[in-house]
Structure 1
Amino acid sequence: MYNLVYKSIANTLTSAQVGEILVESREFNAKHDITGCLIYFEGFFIQYLEGEAEEVLALFEKIKIDIRHRSVDLLSQGNIYSREFDTWSMAYLSEQIPNEAFQYIQLMVSPEDEIPDMSVVPNPTSKRFWIAAKDLLNKIGYDNLN
């Protein structure tokens, strides 16, 4: 099993276009046994992908040339033992959509002393994903999104 995290700057996109990206991603990922999470916030994307290395890396090559965004920056990648998003072909978090998973984001971006002890240490790529999410949300203050 393999995962990677990247961030990028969205070109001007409507809500409908972001919705199309989600539909395409979910269909493609389901066919290729890829799971993950996409965050779209304030014109930025952060995405976490996981699956077989060959599939994830081939998808990332397609993502890098997609004209709907630019400045694609690989943040982290590596082998993993298990999936973080095993039941989601593409979880989606955005300030525009009420989302029960947003509570999980809030937990992950909370100050260290507010996060409960976890029995499993996250893998480095997963950790990088949540650090990037925290940095992005802290730019405008995630408390304003509730």
Structure 2
Amino acid sequence: MYNLVYKSIANSLTTAQVDEILKESRDFNDKHDITGCLIYHDGFFVQYLEGDAEIVLALFEKIRVDIRHYEVILLSQGNIYSREFDTWSMAYLSDKLPNEAFQYIKLMVSPEFEIPDMSVIPNPTSKRFWLAAKNLLNKIGHDNFN
């Protein structure tokens, strides 16, 4: 099992365009046994992908050249023992969620947040960050976001 995390800047997307990205992602991921989570906040994406290494890396290459975003930066990648988002083809979190817990996620993906090489603060490259995202998804209801 392999995971990859990246961030990027959206190209002035509408809600309908983000919804289309989610639909495309979920359809592709269902067919290729990929799971993960997409966070969209204030024009920025952070995405966690997990699955077969060859498929995840090939998908990331397609993502890198997608014109719907730019400045795609790989944050982390590597082998993992098990999936974090095993029940989501592509979980989704955005600042439209009516939940104050999203403030934590928002802080970690804001454009002002620079990811230091060594950090004690959970950030998009850390397992604690994605566990917090998963916990938030579980609190607001799996059916609403899968």
TM-score (norm 2): 0.70
Verify: 1:32 aligned to 2:29, yes or no. Answer: no
User: What stretches of structure 2 of length at least 5 have no aligned partner?
Assistant: 109-123, 134-146
How large is the RMSD of aligned CA atoms in angstroms? 2.9
2:111 aligns with: none
2:126 aligns with: 127
User: Are the counterparts in 1 of residues 95 and 102 from structure 2 also a CA contact under 8 Å?
Assistant: no
Please give the residue correspondences for 1:41-56 in structure 2 after superposition, counting only pairs within 5 Å: 41-56=41-56
Deviation at 1:97, TM superposition (A): 3.6
1:12 aligns with: 12
What is the distance in 2 between the residues matched to 1:30 and 1:80? Answer: 20
User: What stretches of structure 1 of length at least 5 have no aligned partner?
Assistant: 111-124, 135-146
Equivalent residue of 1:93, what SS? strand
What is the distance in 1 between the residues matched to 2:127 and 2:64? Answer: 19
Query: Could you list the per-position Cα deviations for residues 78-125 of structure 1 after superposition, in whole angstroms to 9, with x for gaps in the alignment?
Result: 0000001000000000012447xx848848x79xxxxxxxxxxxxxx8
What is the distance in 2 between the residues matched to 1:72 and 1:62? Answer: 11
Rate the CA distance shift 1:93–1:75 in 2: closer, same or farther, 3 A. Answer: same
Equivalent residue of 1:17, what SS? helix
Rate the CA distance shift 1:130–1:93 in 2: closer, same or farther, 3 A. Answer: same
- What is the aligned residue count? 116
TM-score (norm 1): 0.70
Verify: 1:93 aligned to 2:54, yes or no. Answer: no
